[in-house]
Amino acid sequence: MKTLDQIAAELQGYDPQALPAQAVNEFLQRLVAPVTGTETVALADALDRTLAQPVVSPISVPPHDNSAMDGFAFAGGQLVRGQALALAVVGTALAGRAWQGTVNHGECLKIMTGAILPPGLDTVVPQEFVQQQGDRVIVPADVVRPGDNRRLMGEDLMAGQPALQKGERLTPAACGLVASLGIESVVVVRRLRVAVFSTGDEILSLGEAPREGAVYDSNRYTLHGLLRRLGCDVVDLGRVRDDPALLETAFRAAAAQADAVITSGGVSVGEADFTKAMMKKLGDVAFWRIAMRPGRPMAVGRFAAGPPQGESAPAGSVGAILFGLPGNPVAVMVTFLAFVRPALLRMMGRMPQPLPLLRARSTEALRKKPGRTEYQRGIVSADGAGGLQVRTTGNQGSGVLSSMVQANGLIVLHHGQGNVAVGDEVDVMMFDGAI
């Protein structure tokens, strides 16, 4: 296991006082590793879980050649370009059962969608295309070609082939695919356990009376939502005052119970030193000033701390990864989306899954100095010409939490990028259900 100093030595130009956003993700991908531990769950309970092993198809899907629509099945070799084809109807094939009989040259079979195509039949003409004359049908010239409207055995999946890979998220479509194979349960990575608490004497818990200079703890509830959307189990340790003993108890409890610990507040220059001092005491921790806006201060590290005095650690506990986020509400969300979310996905064993970046034309001029990455809250909409446009939500202050409610993405102005003129294209990190 590498120390933080060893990881830093691997990054070219590493400077904790002016760390580019890209370097943060590179660092974190070296720091974190997938958790161990799996469980078998029923398919009905597997939504959004991460596969711990590939799903191999035990059957071919579909298991037989079958009809893609209601119509008449026949041997396509009888078709002659420019000529109609007359066929005698010798029976009807229904979905869910094999038709017993033989279809000869000049004959066809009325067939329903999904019904098995008997041997020798490879073409289906939709019923609305033909002219029916008693027990015969006329297939007009050139309305179908040989092989049309046939689903081939195994065209979706062949028996023995991987249907889903290890590390894939079980989306609704993926769950449906597994069900189509007749598989009742899947082996998934155990849920990631993440402990969360807020620090600071100025933080009020919900239900407390307002007081001058104090604010209610919104960050903990924001982080709850972000983590639960990601599929994590959240260990809520509440609000912790700026008291060394209380902070040590909280950090030790968090490290003993969770795979990752996320705090908000206490990592900025000028804030009380209790939080930073306790992080250093209990783990291998780095304090960064990231070249970004909002969200400049951040702490990361690894705790190998034991449980509070008098308590025992859970079996298999080896400490936790620390993410110390800034205290401003928008900065918490931006640093989570940009850095913490990708790291947690790696810990969950998930295939790389960055939030999608779309290109949109800015409807307003944006001021930006090269040398830092800026994440501005944006509202993306169609431009009426087949493209996308984006505007900011207005006030970009890091305490304006309402702007994150209005936004559907973050305008990403990259490290080397300068001012943006009206009509210039910019990257937008779409929230895509992450918040």
Confidence of residue 270 (pLDDT cuts 50, 70, 90): low
- Kindly give, in sequence order, each residue whose CB lies less than 8 Å from that of residue 134, ignoring residues fewer than 6 positions away: none
pLDDT number for residue 318:
53
Say yes or no to pLDDT of 165 above 90. yes
Query: Pick from 342, 429, 416: which is nearest to 378 by CA?
Result: 429
pLDDT number for residue 202:
87
Say yes or no to pLDDT of 316 above 60. no
Q: What is the rounded CA–CA span in Å between residue 132 and residue 376?
A: 65
Report the share of the chain in percent with pLDDT over 90: 81
Mean pLDDT of 54-67: 95
Say yes or no to pLDDT of 337 above 70. yes
Which helix (H) or strand (E) segment is 21 a member of? helix 21-31
Pairing of strands 71-74, 123-126: antiparallel
Q: What is the rounded CA–CA span in Å between residue 77 and residue 110?
A: 18
- How many helices (H) and strands (E) the chain has is answered by 9, 26
Say yes or no to pLDDT of 305 above 60. no
Confidence of residue 266 (pLDDT cuts 50, 70, 90): confident
Q: What is the rounded CA–CA span in Å between residue 159 and residue 44?
A: 23
Q: What is the rounded CA–CA span in Å between residue 59 and residue 39?
A: 24
Mean pLDDT for the chain? 92
At 188 the three-state DSSP class reads strand
pTM of the model: 0.86
Query: Pick from 27, 33, 12: which is nearest to 298 by CA?
Result: 27
Confidence of residue 271 (pLDDT cuts 50, 70, 90): low
Q: What is the rounded CA–CA span in Å between residue 312 and residue 374?
A: 44
The sign of the dihedral angle between the CA atoms of 341, 433, 375, 354 is positive
Mean pLDDT of 214-243: 93
The CATH-assigned architecture of domain 43-61+156-189 is: Alpha-Beta Complex (3.90)
pLDDT number for residue 315:
40
Look at the domain 66-151 and name its fold: Molybdopterin biosynthesis moeA protein; domain 3 (2.170.190)
pLDDT number for residue 308:
46
Each residue of 76-103: pLDDT tens digit? Answer: 999 999 999 999 999 999 999 899 999 9
Q: What is the rounded CA–CA span in Å between residue 286 and residue 2?
A: 14
pLDDT number for residue 313:
45
**Widest CA span in the chain:** 92
pLDDT number for residue 309:
47
Burial class (CB in 10 A: 0-12, 13-18, 19+), 342: buried
pLDDT number for residue 203:
87
Mean pLDDT of 121-128: 97
Angle (nearest 5°) at CA 123 between 120 and 127: 130
Say yes or no to pLDDT of 252 above 60. yes
Output 138-141 pairs: Cβ under 8 A, ≥24 positions apart: 138/84, 138/85, 138/86, 138/87, 139/72, 139/74, 139/79, 139/84, 139/85, 139/86, 139/87, 140/84, 141/81, 141/82, 141/83, 141/84
Confidence of residue 435 (pLDDT cuts 50, 70, 90): low
Rg of the chain taking only CA atoms, in angstroms? 30
Tell me the CA end-to-end span of the chain in Å, nearest whole number.
33
| Boundaries of every domain in the chain | 4-37+190-347, 43-61+156-189, 66-151, 357-430
Phi then psi for residue 171, to 5 deg, are: -75, 170
User: In DSSP terms, which residues pair with 50 in a beta bridge?
Assistant: 169
Q: What is the rounded CA–CA span in Å between residue 116 and residue 134?
A: 24
- Contact indicator for 29, 342 with CB cutoff of 8 Å: yes
Q: What is the rounded CA–CA span in Å between residue 82 and residue 142?
A: 6
The CATH-assigned architecture of domain 357-430 is: Beta Barrel (2.40)
User: In DSSP terms, which residues pair with 323 in a beta bridge?
Assistant: 262, 300
Instruction: Provide the CATH number for the domain formed by 4-37+190-347 in this structure.
Output: 3.40.980.10
